[in-house]
A = this chain, B = another copy of it.
Amino acid sequence: MKKQGNSIGVVAPQRAHFDEPLTLRSGSVLPAYDLVYETYGALNAAKSNAILVCHALSGHHHVAGHYADDPANLGWWDNIIGPGRPLDTDKFFIVGVNNLGGCHGSTGPSTINPTTGKPWGADFPLVAVVDWVRAQSRLADSLGIDSWAAVIGGSLGGMQALRWTITFPERIRHALVIAAAPKLTAQNIAFNDVARQAILTDPEFHGGHYYEHGVFPRRGLRLARMLGHITYLSDDQMDQKFGRELRHGAFAFDYGVEFEVESYLRHQGDKFAGYFDANTYLLMTKALDYFDPAREGDGDLAQALAVARAKFLVIAFSTDWRFSPARSREIVSALLKNGQDVSYAEPRCNFGHDSFLMDDPHYHAVVRAYLDRVKI
């Protein structure tokens, strides 16, 4: 099947500064903050064609296209965004934003705390998904967008879309919740905690103030990413891709790379630890753990979602064992219980949790068909 549409091409990041203090879920107050973002396509006169793309754990605002000076660095969801693509920039004005606490330009642990003149480090307050949504709503204000045509995201991004429908029901017309869950299970939290402990116990973590020591908890972040990566892939996919293939044809009987899968994982860990911030990783995993909108409805997700006015598209992937289809169906069931408008798709896509990032024809066709019918 020939890929439809084109990449948006050259894009450039923008920066918005917000002076109004933001009271966070934790009770902490962020006196001021910056958000970096990108936009693709044109906002129409009615300002009714805006789609917000929310990123997952390690994502950022560079969602589509490339920078003029770095053509190889395509946005992380370029395959779905552009003229003629499912998130069609000929129809929609698309906004990607780096969330608060991120490490790609928005205010976070690695940016300067104006009070001290030093990086925030461990003093940066922990944030919840609702805090991101509130910060995103101010970005919407600054862009003159009263109501998003849609908010879309995969994994932790899908949780933000869900949160938008509860926190700002009048400001979101469609929520596309992909490879998400209404809350983490004990096993999900356990994996996050091992990843966090790897970072927190790295001797170069220095209680989160490693910037000042000129070091970086690289070992811990590398382990966290290796572990995370296993949970993003399906068992079958790993077997098809690597199986038990040996790197050097025979066992070496030492602790170097023996199996190809070891080489792959270590490479992924090394690469990630080379560009991502450890404090941001910690903070993002905590936001995942905290997410649980049903807590506001006495544990009843339907009650929590009853306030939503949006229409929903929920998508889960059959091979995703991190947030399995059963978790997405919990969201669908809650919405159906309320008589709310929800469509559900479960494409057979072999890439596990990471399927949401992949260019799968069935999956993309579902998103395209849904967004084609969204009135602007």
Also in contact, A197 and B185, with CB within 8 A (given A238-B190, A262-B190, A265-B190): no
**B289 lies within 8 A of A259 (CB):** yes
Is A277 part of the contact surface with B, judged by Cβ < 8 Å?
A: no
Give chain A interface residues in 179-233, CB to chain B under 8 Å.
183-187, 189-191, 193-194, 196-198, 200-203, 219, 222-223, 226-227, 230, 233
**Cβ of A43 to closest chain B Cβ, rounded Å:** 36
Task: Of the listed stretches A91-99, A250-258, A306-314, A353-361, name the one at the interface; the rest are far from the partner chain.
Answer: A250-258
Known: A239-B185, A244-B189, A261-B189. A198 touches B200 (CB 8 A): no
* CB–CB B185/A227 < 8 A: no
Please, how many angstroms separate the alpha-carbon atoms of A269 and B253 in the complex?
27
Shortest CB-to-CB span from A44 to chain B, Å, is 40
Asked whether any CB of chain B lies closer than 8 Å to the CB of A18, the reply is no
Measured as residues with beta carbon below 8 angstroms from the partner, the interface class of chain A is 35 or more
B227 touches A193 (CB 8 A): no
- Give the residues from 239 to 280 in chain A that come closer than 8 angstroms, CB to CB, to chain B: 239, 241-244, 251, 253-255, 258-259, 261-262, 265-266, 269
Whether a CB of chain B sits under 8 angstroms from the CB of A126 is yes
Assess whether B253 is in contact with A187, with CB atoms less than 8 Å apart: no
- Cβ contacts under 8 Å, A28 to chain B: 253
* Nearest CB in chain B: distance from A258 CB, A: 7
Asked whether B226 lies within 8 Å of A227 as measured between CB atoms, the reply is: no
Contact status B266-A193, CB under 8 Å: yes
Q: Does A38 sit within 8 A of B, measured CB to CB?
A: no
Residues of A that sit less than 8 Å from B by CB = 25-28, 125-126, 183-187, 189-191, 193-194, 196-198, 200-203, 219, 222-223, 226-227, 230, 233, 235, 238-239, 241-244, 251, 253-255, 258-259, 261-262, 265-266, 269, 282, 286, 289-290, 292
